Structure 1
């Protein structure tokens, strides 16, 4: 359980840093437990779609779940189940190298870097590392894929989230 103190203090620092300065349009805050206390190990986030992309106008819900081994191990990043994207597993888990302990994760990566990285992934999927069948649609029929993304962006329209 020794790692828990390290994880909790790092997450408290991340929260402080985020509250002082974060990218415009992003929301990230630890979950509030039923008893009113803060759960630093589970963050509820909203990622804005980038301007000039099919994702623009959307505010996409993402959960970050940190373990007691954080920052030695990356958090799990999860969109809602059945989120449409080539690098998101059907259960919602995000497939991104900086979230993979054996690929790109480093203990110095911050919550801010994770969220910006996931936002970039939305419009720039990694087709070399697909997580589901959506990548086939992306490769074979961009028109159909683009329509799927437009529908999803409507579903998560920013004005519905606030």
Structure 2
């Protein structure tokens, strides 16, 4: 059972999200088999930014919160095989904002996390590669990289 601090924070985050969230984004806790909400695991939709090669699609991400949240960051995952230099083949997001050893701070909220992931889509960090093929294409063959991104966007068109 998650600690009360964690559950209270996630309940408040859910309320805050429902009142105020970025346009085009969605986030909701998964449901348990009995129909109750699982505040520890959220399904999120992150739209590609306007005027970028990611525009027109909404990308699914899962946020899995540890029992120690907000002291520890959630794990953030795209579907396995998502093509991006900073997304591991497993789908795990490589982003300092949600890395406990780097920029994570307990004050960071779901809203900032999803905006940070959206920013990462069009602005990969070549100093922190997580996926060899996408990294190689991004650094050495931008035309191929852009073509593969466009193909991926078609799979997630909103």
Q: Which interval holds the TM-score relative to the shorter structure?
A: over 0.9
Structure 1 residue 123: Cα displacement: 0.1
SS for the counterpart of 1:47 is strand
- Aligned position for 2:20: 21
- Aligned position for 2:148: 148
Distance (whole Å) between structure 2 residues aligned to residue 154 and residue 53 of structure 1:
14
Alignment of 1:6-155 (within 5 A): 6-133=5-132, 134-155=134-155
Q: TM-score, normalised by structure 2?
A: 0.98
Q: Deviations over 1:93-143 (max 9, x none)?
A: 000001110100000000000000000000000000000111111010100
Distance (whole Å) between structure 2 residues aligned to residue 50 and residue 80 of structure 1:
19
Stretches of structure 2 that go unaligned for 5 or more consecutive residues are none
Q: TM-score, normalised by structure 1?
A: 0.95
- Runs of at least 4 residues of structure 1 off by over 4 A? none
Distance (whole Å) between structure 2 residues aligned to residue 124 and residue 152 of structure 1:
16
How many residues get paired?
157
Structure 1 residue 58: Cα displacement: 0.7
